[in-house]
Copies of this chain bind each other. A is one copy, B any other.
Amino acid sequence: MARIVMKFGGTSVGDIERINNVAAHVKEEYDAGNEVAVVVSAMSGETNRLVSLCRDISAFHDAREYDVVVSAGEQVSVGLLAMALNKIDVPARSWLGWQFPIMTSSVHGSARIQDIDTQSLEAQFADGRVAVIAGFQGLSPENRITTLGRGGSDTSAVAVAAALHADRCDIYTDVDGVYTTDPRLVPDARRLKKISYEEMLEMASLGSKVLQTRSVELAMAHKVKLQVRSSFDDPAKKKEVSEDGIAGTMVCSEEEIMEQEIVSGIAYSKDEAKITLRRVADQPGTAAAIFGPLADAAINVDMIVQNISADGGHTDMTFTVPNDDLPRAQQVIESMQDTIGFAEVESTSGLAKISIVGVGMRSHAGVAQKMFTELADKSINIQVISTSEIKISVLVDADYTELGVRALHAAFNLDGGDEGAG
């Protein structure tokens, strides 16, 4: 017997048929003798509909009332799923955020979970009942409904799993796990059996939309084993489960991954643009003078590279922004020319960022060189390089995205069947 938290997103509960399919998944775990808590999102499209209603009333609305309106979506789906479970003889009841309660901060619209009283849930388990929990919502100290921000149901699930000391938190999505890269781009991409929290964080923030970054951070902090699985499997059919019982991809501590690959995956994001400031005064406060106004304009700056000062007292500064934000970013920078004191500004759009991610590269010299050589062999020009402990990112012309990702995928031996890194 295990204690399991299962999480289903909006697409998985998008209509009655899918809700019944989710109930069948839950029944399978329940019938196997497990203690099960299920966290669900609003039916797909519903949160958007509710958000639109709020916007139609007023562009500047009270965030507390916004939370009252949008949390109604999850309220509907937990009620329906509890009904669907009861129908197939799985005793279940719904729980709303205010009923445990799931206590959060008072920051409406993006509240943080502070405490979950698990007493009622433990009582449910003792009675052999499944708890169906509304994701995304909680209760403020002022006794008002809060929400955790878009995609917050992943975070709810991990928080519930941590509070319950669950053996596993299964995140059911519309993909069947985490892949070495985007399978639409590289047909040879293979599903990873295991990936470390750190790698998942890099993959998530690099554009792999499987898990919300915040939920991975929370899982890492509380050592919650996350499993990414597909909700569209037919639960009646026998699933492909590896020898160690993993159906999708397990996100866990590095130590639990026996033989670590050097590189676990290749991430990419298109639609990048870069801006270079020539001959910037190389003195304290320059970076703040540049990036402060950009942050104020809500422009998301990603890679920042500053070259070593070539002449006395000047340097070149390059940074990337999303393509769409390029015109605004240029405007901001140009308006600051006198303050910042640079000679000229250059910008290039239509770029892509390709990154290799893997905790194994820490202990392996030559990973970067291998990456650069491989790209050079394909005549792909690297425009900007940025690295972290477990990641190397390069900026290239977006036309070379597919070519670069495929070359790197092969070079780091990621091609192959559904073998996994574990």
Contact of A62 among B73, B82, B143 (CB under 8 A): B82
Those of A90-144 within 8 Å (CB) of chain B: 93-94, 96, 98-99, 143-144
Does A246 have its Cβ within 8 Å of any Cβ on chain B? Answer: no
Does A407 have its Cβ within 8 Å of any Cβ on chain B? Answer: no
Closest to A134 in B: B68
Report chain B residues within 8 Å CB of A72. 72-73, 75-76, 79
Which applies to chain A's interface (DSSP): helix, strand, loop or mixed?
helix
> How far does the alpha carbon of A342 sit from the alpha carbon of B82 in the complex, in Å?
50
Contact assessment for B68 and A84 in the assembled complex, using a CB-CB cutoff below 8 Å: no
Q: What total of chain A residues lie within 8 Å of the partner, measured CB to CB?
A: 39
Report chain B residues within 8 Å CB of A80. 53-54, 57, 65, 69
> How far does the alpha carbon of A58 sit from the alpha carbon of B89 in the complex, in Å?
13
Report chain B residues within 8 Å CB of A56. 16
Closest to A96 in B: B68
The distance from the CB of A76 to the nearest CB of chain B, in whole angstroms, is: 5
> How far does the alpha carbon of A19 sit from the alpha carbon of B50 in the complex, in Å?
15
Does A223 have its Cβ within 8 Å of any Cβ on chain B? Answer: no
A53, A56, A83, A143: most-surrounded residue (chain B CB, <10 A) = A83
Does A86 have its Cβ within 8 Å of any Cβ on chain B? Answer: yes
Contact assessment for B86 and A61 in the assembled complex, using a CB-CB cutoff below 8 Å: yes
The distance from the CB of A61 to the nearest CB of chain B, in whole angstroms, is: 4
Report chain B residues within 8 Å CB of A98. 98
Those of A5-57 within 8 Å (CB) of chain B: 16, 19-20, 50, 53-54, 56-57
Listed from nearest, the 10 A-B pairs whose CB atoms lie closest are A68-B79, A69-B79, A72-B72, A61-B83, A65-B79, A72-B75, A16-B56, A58-B87, A57-B83, A65-B82
4 extra interface residue pairs, beta carbon distance < 8 Å, beyond A65-B79, A65-B86, A72-B73: A16-B57, A19-B57, A61-B83, A62-B82
20 pairs, CB–CB < 8 Å, chain A vs chain B = A20-B57, A50-B76, A53-B80, A54-B80, A54-B83, A57-B80, A57-B87, A58-B83, A58-B84, A60-B87, A62-B93, A65-B80, A65-B82, A65-B94, A68-B78, A69-B75, A72-B76, A75-B75, A98-B98, A99-B144
